[in-house]
Structure 1
Amino acid sequence: MSILQELLFPPPPSLYITAMSVVGLVSLSYCGLAEVRGKHLQYSKFWNVQSKGKGKEGIKLSSRAGMLLLYTPAVVAGAASLAFYPSPSLRFWLLSWALTIHFLKRVLEVLFVHKYSGGMILDSAILISLSYFTATVNALYAQYLTVGTPEPHIDLKYAGIVVFLVGIAGNFYHHYLLSKLREKNDKGYKIPKGGLFNLVICPHYLFEILGFIGISCISQTVYASSFTIGTIGYLMGRSYATRKWYRAKFSNFPAEVKALIPFVF
């Protein structure tokens, strides 16, 4: 507990933020466990897994439309905090920029980088979009509640900027490699190569985790840390399911390629 007190602001005097810290951690971790058990959020290669053989499929979106729905509300929330709200502290300003850049990058990738092969179920799109939007708003509100309180004894915000930039750059690079796997109008899947794809099947998730760790270090709030831990749990489950999918689809999938962490997992 004393180590946490050195690293984090005290829990805020807000039952809402305290409750949402728990809800975010538990719900994201549960989604990660569900991925391991084969109950996937229906996007990317898993976009129609649950509905096959069932009468009710749900409303389908194109992948591009679904991905834009995922990220745009969070971009708007982050940009609004920069445009209309005077930053009460350097941390708040840095956090606003980090969250805005994180989700704006995703929107730009949806528009100009990603290539698509399937679609997305509306229910999954709404669930993920709400998660990102509420997480952005709650992270900013939790940061606002720290204004005027003593800073953590160990200042991580500058280290957090570095980790965030490494995460966002690595995530973009591996998304770019994925986009180069397909020629125009090619909708098939191939085993990714290059970068850390030679070691793990989801290096883009690994760098996404680094990005959220960077955001947590910039913020140093209980809420941001809880959301990051939950995100790690979800992406671990998603990467495990992704590796399992590739191994089932490709008989020549390299056994030494792990899911998320090189040589380990």
Structure 2
Amino acid sequence: MVQSTLLRFIYPPPASWFINAMTVITGAILVNGGLMEVKGKSMQYSKFYNTSKKNAEASKITELSGRKGMLVVYAPAFVASVIFLAFMRDEGLRFTLVTSALTVHFFKRLFEVSFIHNYSGSMPIDIVINFSASYFLYTVTVTYSQHLVAELPEPVIDLKYAGTASFLVGITGNFYHHYLLSKLRKEGEKQYKIPQGGLFDLVICPHYLFEIIGFIGISCISQTLYALSFTVGSAVCLMGRSYATRKWYLSKFEDFPKDVKALIPYVF
């Protein structure tokens, strides 16, 4: 019953052990990441991770500046999406929309790293490589999955146009709230402040909320099981990270508004 209902919205899984394995592995890793955030084991490029020079020298790990590190994280996925968009034009409208969304998504991230975000710390090179490989693998896998289902019958319920709208809402809202975050501190300031404006008056991580909406858009355009698995896993991961972020702000600011939720206004 559940399977037949689900297949009204997505393509059947392709006959590919790689795609099917990645569907399970990706979802499991992201969900586990969210649970680790709740337990206090935060992602190693967040403000909760201590990357002091003393630790770096003790472990002999090469580090990159935060800006250079994040450029390396996103650049391979962006290049891959551009190549797919440019050289696989005969795969149909849905494929073009998916690769276009991926290209815009990673271009926005590179633009924000270069011109919007402020960085004061550094990133261990092994963490940079791990995240870069993860985003690159996501781009390749979601695109390959889309290629494999191109000749299969379309899902009964077509979500690609609703997905495009959702993606545009998500990427716009995410960019806007990243911009607000970048304006919190004046040049030279390093102390953290409570974000204000936009949906920050309701939740502490509206940028994560809109990122989830963007990923929902990509999965609706794609309508493949892999894209759905990544979106569900990412949502759980970002829920965990937003929970950890709110907990951090509560511990650092006595005047943090208790009615400001973590991710979903009035709910969570």
Fold match, TM over 0.5?
yes
* 2:127 equivalent in structure 1: 124
Question: In 2, are the aligned partners of 1:47 and 1:119 still within 8 Å (CA)?
Answer: no
- Distance in 2 between residues matched to 1:12 and 1:52, nearest whole Å: 49
* 1:163 equivalent in structure 2: 166
Alignment of 1:87-166 (within 5 A): 87-166=90-169
Alignment of 1:199-218 (within 5 A): 199-218=202-221
- Distance in 1 between residues matched to 2:53 and 2:218, nearest whole Å: 36
- Distance in 2 between residues matched to 1:203 and 1:246, nearest whole Å: 15
- Distance in 1 between residues matched to 2:238 and 2:122, nearest whole Å: 20
Q: 1:57 to 1:185 in 2, by over 3 A?
A: farther
Give yes or no for the alignment of 1:13 onto 2:50: no
RMSD: 1.7
Q: Deviations over 1:41-65 (max 9, x none)?
A: 2113123179987953743221101
Q: For 1:44, what is the secondary structure of its paired residue?
A: coil
Identity %: 59
Q: Which amino acid aligns with 1:37?
A: K
Q: For 2:47, what is the secondary structure of its paired residue?
A: helix
The alignment's TM-score, normalised by the length of structure 1, stands at: 0.95
Alignment of 1:53-92 (within 5 A): 55-56=58-59, 58-92=61-95
- Distance in 2 between residues matched to 1:87 and 1:116, nearest whole Å: 41
Give yes or no for the alignment of 1:252 onto 2:237: no
Q: Deviations over 1:166-201 (max 9, x none)?
A: 000000000000001011122221000000101111
Q: Which amino acid aligns with 1:215?
A: I
Give yes or no for the alignment of 1:220 onto 2:226: no
- Distance in 1 between residues matched to 2:189 and 2:61, nearest whole Å: 25
> Which sections of structure 1, spanning at least 5 residues, go unmatched?
none
Which of 25, 31, 34 is matched with 1:32 structurally? 34
For residue 117 of structure 1, report the CA deviation from its aligned partner. Answer: 2.4
- Distance in 2 between residues matched to 1:148 and 1:51, nearest whole Å: 53
Give yes or no for the alignment of 1:195 onto 2:198: yes
- Distance in 2 between residues matched to 1:182 and 1:108, nearest whole Å: 19
Question: In 1, are the aligned partners of 2:51 and 2:121 still within 8 Å (CA)?
Answer: no
Q: Deviations over 1:90-121 (max 9, x none)?
A: 11111000001001000001111111222223
Q: For 1:33, what is the secondary structure of its paired residue?
A: helix
Q: For 1:10, what is the secondary structure of its paired residue?
A: coil
For residue 214 of structure 1, report the CA deviation from its aligned partner. Answer: 0.1
> Which sections of structure 2, spanning at least 5 residues, go unmatched?
none
Question: In 2, are the aligned partners of 1:17 and 1:223 still within 8 Å (CA)?
Answer: yes
- Distance in 1 between residues matched to 2:214 and 2:245, nearest whole Å: 20
Q: 1:51 to 1:221 in 2, by over 3 A?
A: farther
Corresponding residue pairs, total: 265
Question: In 1, are the aligned partners of 2:51 and 2:123 still within 8 Å (CA)?
Answer: no
Q: Which amino acid aligns with 1:100?
A: T
Q: For 1:258, what is the secondary structure of its paired residue?
A: coil
Question: In 1, are the aligned partners of 2:117 and 2:178 still within 8 Å (CA)?
Answer: yes
The alignment's TM-score, normalised by the length of structure 2, stands at: 0.94
